[in-house]
Each structure stands twice: as C-alpha cells, then as structure tokens.
Amino acid sequence: MSRKKQDIIIENVLVESVAAEGKALAKVDGTVLFIPFAVPGDIVDVRVTKKKKNYMEGTVVRMVTPSEHRLEPFCSHFGVCGGCKWQPLPYDMQLAAKQQQVYDQLVRIGHLDVPEISPIVPSDETVYYRNKLEFTFSRRRWIFQDEDPESMSDQERCGLGFHVGRFFDKVLDIRHCYLQKDPSNRIRLFIRSYALEHGLEFFDIRGHSGFLRNMFIRTTEAGDVMLIICFYHEDEKARTRLLDAVAAEFPQITSLYYVINGKANDSISDQECILYKGDVAIYEYMEGLRFKIGPKSFYQTNTRQAYKLYGVAREYAALTGKETVYDLYTGTGTIAQFVSSGAARVIGIEYVPEAIEDAKENAVANGITNCEFFAGDMKDILTGEFISEHGKPDVIILDPPRAGIHPDVAGVILDAEPERIVYVSCNPASQARDLAILGSKYAITAVRPVDMFPHTHHVENVVKLEKKADL
C-alpha cells in the first residue's frame, strides 16, 4: 500500500466476485472493497475513494492482470457513460449475478421463506434491445482529460447524450449508442448537427436558459418511430424549421411531437405533447393484441423480454376463466389484456390518466370486453369501498414503481384476501420489504427473475404468493 497526496493506493488487489449495484467485490485485510468496472479474477491497483468502518470503495488505477473472463467493452463510451457497466462481464456471469441478487434480497437480507428460485430468463438480445431512450441537450458537455476547455468554442462545449453519473449538469456527447436500433443514432446525430449549424442554443441546466432541452425516441418491433423534441421556450420559426428538417430527413418517423417545457425539471408527464406530424401513437403487438403507445405511455422498454415477463406473470396467475383479476399499476393495460382471455373480469388501475385512456382504447381495438380501467393514485383508488363496488379480486397482479407499494395499498390487498398474488418488480429490495408485509397472510410459492436490461445490474423479478391454508 502506498500513499500520495492523501490518496490511498492498494496494489495487487484480487477481485473476487460481483456485488450489489453492479460493483465488484474484493477483500483487503478482511475489509470489503467495492470497485466499479472490475471483473472477478482481475488483479488491479485501486485508489480508495471512500473509507468507512466496515467497507471501502475505490476505482481501478491500473490493470495488473486482467481476468480470464474479462471481455473488451464494445462501446467507445464505456466507463464514462453511466449505462452498460457490465460490458466486460460475460453474459452468463451477468445472469448468475442477477440470480444471486434476487436470492440475497429475498433470503439473505429479507429473511423470507422462499422456495428454490427458478433460473433467470435470459434476454435473446443483449444490444439494441430498448424501445425508448431519452437524450439531453447541454452546453456543458463532459470534457475529457486530453481536451483543453480553454481553447474550445461554445459550440464545441455542446453535447447531446446522457447525463454522466454523479454530475447532474454534465452530459456525455454520444456518438453511437448500442441500446436502441436505428434510426435512433442517425436521428440524434442529425439533430445535433442541424442545431449546431443553425445556432440553436443547447440547454444550460444551471442557468436554466437555452432552446433545445431534451428528446425522446421510441421504436417498435414493426419499425414505427416516435420522436418527441422538448424546447425550453417557444420560438415558432426555429422550432418549425427544425421539425420540418427532421421530418424530411427521416420519413420513417411515424409520429413527431414537440413539447414546450419551461419548468424546473425535464419530466413531460405534466406537459402538453403537441403532435406536429404523423400518427398520434405508435403500436406494439403481442399474441395478436395491439397496444397503443402515446408520448406519455408506459411500456416495458425491452419489448421481446416483456413478452417473456408477462408470460411468467400469467403462468403464476394460474387463471381458469372464472377469476376476477385486479391489475395494479396497469400502465396502458398490457398485462391486464394479456391475461384477459383467461379471466372472467379484469380491473386495471394506473396513476397516469393518458395511459388509462390508451388502455381503454387498446381494449376496444382488441375486442376485449371484460376489462375496466381506472385512473388515480393507487392508495386513493384502491380502497375497501372500491372493492365492494367492483368486486372482490380472486387474483391480484401488481407491477409497481421501484419504490414498491404504499403501506395503505398493502393493507387493502391483505383485507381483500385474493387467493393468489403475482408481484412483478424492478427492484427486489423494495419487493422483499413488501413481501414481508404480505407474508402475514401469504406464502411465497414461486420466484423467477427475468433479465430485461443486459449489461446492467438491474433485474425484474416475478413472485407468486398464495393464501395460507390456515386462513
């Protein structure tokens, strides 16, 4: 161990395993050391960035001996961009780490009584698997060490890409992203080039000034493309010229929207999305069902894996055709309609009103007559009175946000006493907390992770709960 300018450098550290949050784990004199971008088997020199009583964190400053498992990252932005941190890790090791993550959260940390966890469902595609990406315009792009910021023009400081981790005001200028298939990259690069050539101001998140703010690209398996460009203020002439140029360059854009968002954050959930050209929505298909996706709609971002995820949920629901099913956090009603043919009735509840309108329209388009949808905050909508009015659920399927379910919602579910609960989660930690609450009346009878996000530590997990026999 050597020390320089108060830095602590630990030499010849053997990386032992993959740890939480996508970091790797090593042990130094009995103390756990967490290291990002390392692979089990690497021998590295590490600069300690945080030292606590029970653990340390650090970064690799020198690769002494690379692991036999280590792969060459395929993306030139690896290590700076906050995404796809597991590129050097073989996919089978990624899957094993995610399987272990689910076990750790439910059993080792959550102390839940869980049957043997089924093998994780792998993703057929490990690149170009996302159907939605958001990019940010910034006049304060990430500056690399070999660049001289003093010699840069204002244009050279501009970037269009992703926020760099830990720096809310820094954006990495993306040249090629492996997450979304074309024409995503070409659209982004064209807009960046057009904006610079025509002097359109990129956004300054600190000073809250500029013209171009952020943009969303959504794609479907059938090739539909939705583009949403968000402006900080209205400039009809400049806006129209940009939108016309994009539409002319990319006739495959089937739905072109814009938003004027002058508020403090980038979210468009409370903003008006104005259709400029094309169709009001794009459409995804699953088992012959059509799902409308508008500019604010929630739809699982890995389309092909969503089909597998919903398949596991439907299997765990074990429907016979007689059940009343509640689909909580239904989004655009995808799961609700996916299981509707096996149920007597399905009731979907979702916070976003636009999503519920899409769900209703989807049901009509698909000829589904046994689904009802309601919009509102889950803890306000799902009450004992609501269940009395709309019928007691035999099965509840829920797919909440990362934070999990509100205690009031858990209480109503327990009072309703459905025979089965299927809990789909993107966060096994909050899921474990909620499962402990539901455990007063329910036993966990099946668990299966699904990999929706290759090259990241994120994992979806599906849990089946059945009412205990003695209740």
Catalytically active residues, by annotation: 426
423 among annotated binding-site residues: no
The CA distance from 277 to 267, in Å, is 22
266 marked among binding-site residues: no
How far is residue 279's CA from residue 257's CA, in Å, rounded to a whole number? 10
Contact 264, 234 (CB under 8 A): no
**Cβ contacts of residue 27 below 8 Å, gap of 6+?**
16, 33
| C-alpha–C-alpha distance, residues 421 and 466, integer Å | 6
- Residue 207, CB half-sphere, CA atoms under 13 Å: how many? 10
Burial class (CB in 10 A: 0-12, 13-18, 19+), 9: middle
Pair of tokens at residue 65: 């001996």
How far CA 425 is from CA of 4, 352, 401, 429, 434, in Å, comes to 45, 19, 8, 9, 10
Q: How far is CA 277 from CA 85, 349, 364, 417, in A?
A: 37, 31, 25, 48
Give the span between the Cα atoms of 19 and 16, in whole angstroms: 9
Instruction: Please report which helix (H) or strand (E) contains residue 412, including its range.
Output: helix 407-416
CA-CA-CA-CA dihedral for 20, 25, 31, 33, to nearest 10: -90
Token pair 């130094």 in the structure block, residue? 28
Residue 395 has which token pair?
Answer: 């099965």
* 329 appears as a binding residue in the annotation: yes
Q: Is 415 annotated as a binding residue?
A: no
CB neighbours of 88 closer than 8 A, spacing ≥ 6? 37, 39, 70, 71, 72, 73
* Angle (nearest 5°) at CA 248 between 298 and 231: 50
The alpha carbon of residue 467 and the mean position of all alpha carbons in its chain are separated, in whole angstroms, by 31
Locate tokens 């830095």: which residue?
A: 7
Question: Tell me, what DSSP letter sits at residue 302?
Answer: S
**Which residue positions form the known binding site?**
300, 329, 350, 399
**Which residue positions form the known binding site for S-adenosyl-L-methionine?**
300, 329, 350, 399
